[in-house]
């Protein structure tokens, strides 16, 4: 009797891309790859080597009648594997763990896998949806060739079914069509506004400047401040929210549901270097500055909790996979592993140390693979 790995059933839709029967089944390859990436493998050579070392452990789940495939087989199969279907299975798996996404704050942002570039191919760029509250990736989509994030964002939004969520996107995604889609899907948005939308940016900045000249007298607004000190760094943040948008109503044409504008002022002092910046946002949700300030701050969790971990802990920027869909599919494996670590409540150490534990402790690795729900 073999044990079961619950997450494998969510990838049953994947079709083996090989045209003839192989001695190494697709589920065997997938299980080995996920467990190996959990345990520190960052390329196909390491995946195959880990599989050979842990073959007896793997056989409690699947037969592995012909042992572990070569690293060439792993590379070839994952290069051919349909990445769009793999991404769809990944999103379905996360929905089964998280249940309804309703009420979550979802940050959308892109990341380039830099060493996936080759002579005839640009480096792949992946747009991810990240839950700040849960600390997990809910889905991802690769941007199309000769395209950018603007074309991938609607596809990811459609796939995730984010009814009731608050979606945050940086300035590149501040587009009327994207705002319209978010509202159509019964979500709210908080979009950073910069000079790629010059009319809107000038109107919002002018609204705050006019309000400051009269010290916000007679202008409906809220404000909140935060002070953070850490390792010689001092940061002061001040958030102001205005919900009377009548002075800029003309400039808001085509931006459905807009209810508030937000200004976040950041003053930093670190090692004698002082910086000061202002960031502006358009939001379709009413709320006080104490709440909306945390919303726009929370968006950057996708950089700190996801992109940083993928590069520093999983070595994503150093990965040289360039054949077919291999780079995109391995990026999904990394996000599966990171999600499994993030929902683990049995250990309080960082993800890098958890990978070490997964490599050395069979019981801990089994606990990760047997996950049932995000806490």
In this prediction, residue 202 has a pLDDT band, given cuts at 50, 70 and 90, of: very high
> Token digits for 363?
């019981």
Range in 34-43, 174-183, 361-370 with the lowest mean pLDDT: 361-370
pLDDT for residue 54: 97
Per-residue pLDDT at 248 exceeds 90 = yes
* Pick from 246, 247, 250: nearest CA to 210: 247
In this prediction, residue 136 has a pLDDT band, given cuts at 50, 70 and 90, of: very high
Per-residue pLDDT at 116 exceeds 90 = no
Q: State the Cα–Cα distance between residues 123 and 118, nearest whole angstrom.
A: 7
Mean pLDDT of 258-267: 96
In this prediction, residue 5 has a pLDDT band, given cuts at 50, 70 and 90, of: low
pLDDT for residue 131: 92
End-to-end CA distance of the chain: give it in Å, rounded.
30
In tens, the pLDDT along 33-79 reads 999 999 999 999 999 999 999 999 999 999 999 999 999 999 999 99
Angle at 8 between CA 7 and CA 9, to 5 degrees: 90
Mean pLDDT of 276-280: 93
pLDDT for residue 2: 46
Per-residue pLDDT at 30 exceeds 60 = yes
Q: State the Cα–Cα distance between residues 375 and 372, nearest whole angstrom.
A: 9
Per-residue DSSP letters for 206-253? HHHHHHHHTTTTT--EEEEEEEEEETTEEEEEEEEEE---GGGTGGGT
Mean pLDDT of 12-28: 91
Per-residue pLDDT at 23 exceeds 60 = yes
User: Is 267 in contact with 276 (CB distance < 8 Å)?
Assistant: yes
pLDDT for residue 148: 74
Per-residue pLDDT at 373 exceeds 60 = no
pLDDT for residue 146: 55
Per-residue pLDDT at 375 exceeds 60 = no
Per-residue pLDDT at 188 exceeds 80 = yes
Helix (H, G, I), strand (E, B) or coil at 38: helix
pLDDT for residue 147: 64
> Token digits for 34?
């996920």
Mean pLDDT over each residue of the chain, to the nearest integer? 90
pLDDT for residue 115: 73
> Token digits for 272?
């004698």
Per-residue pLDDT at 347 exceeds 90 = no
In tens, the pLDDT along 285-326 reads 999 999 999 999 999 889 989 999 999 999 998 887 878 899
pLDDT for residue 118: 64
pLDDT for residue 81: 96
């Amino acid at each position: 009797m073999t044990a079961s790995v619950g997450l494998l059933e969510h990838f049953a839709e994947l079709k083996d891309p090989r045209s003839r029967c192989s001695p190494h089944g697709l589920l065997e390859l997938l299980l080995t790859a996920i467990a190996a990436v959990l345990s520190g493998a960052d390329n196909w050579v390491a995946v195959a080597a880990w599989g050979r070392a842990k073959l007896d452990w793997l056989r409690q789940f699947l037969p592995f009648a012909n042992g572990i495939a070569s690293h060439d087989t792993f590379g070839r199969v994952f290069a051919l594997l349909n990445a769009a279907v793999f991404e769809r299975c990944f999103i379905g798996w996360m929905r089964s763990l998280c249940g309804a996404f309703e009420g979550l704050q979802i940050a959308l942002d892109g990341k380039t896998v830099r060493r996936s570039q080759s002579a005839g191919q640009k480096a792949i760029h992946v747009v991810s949806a990240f839950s700040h509250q849960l600390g997990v990736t809910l889905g991802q989509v690769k941007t199309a060739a000769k395209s950018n994030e603007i074309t991938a964002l609607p596809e990811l939004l459609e796939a995730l079914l984010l009814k009731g969520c608050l979606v945050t996107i940086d300035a590149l995604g501040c587009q009327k069509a994207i705002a319209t889609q978010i509202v159509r899907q019964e979500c709210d948005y908080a979009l950073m506004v910069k000079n790629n939308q010059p009319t809107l940016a000038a109107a919002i900045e002018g609204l705050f400047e006019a309000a400051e000249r009269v010290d916000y007298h007679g202008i409906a607004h809220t404000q909140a401040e935060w002070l953070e000190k850490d390792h010689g760094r001092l940061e002061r943040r001040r958030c102001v929210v205005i919900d009377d948008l009548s002075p800029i109503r003309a400039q808001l044409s085509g931006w459905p549901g807009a209810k508030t504008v937000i200004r976040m002022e950041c003053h930093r002092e670190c090692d004698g270097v002082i910086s000061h910046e202002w960031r502006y946002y358009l939001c379709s949700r009413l709320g006080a500055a104490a709440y909306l300030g945390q919303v726009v701050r929370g968006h950057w969790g996708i950089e700190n909790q996801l992109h940083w971990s993928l590069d520093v802990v999983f070595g994503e920027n150093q990965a040289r996979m360039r054949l077919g869909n291999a780079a995109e599919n391995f990026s999904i494996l990394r996000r599966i592993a990171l999600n499994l670590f993030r929902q683990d409540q049995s250990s309080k150490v960082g993800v890098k140390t958890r990978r070490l534990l997964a490599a050395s402790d069979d019981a801990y690795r089994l606990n990760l693979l047997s996950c049932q729900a995000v806490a």
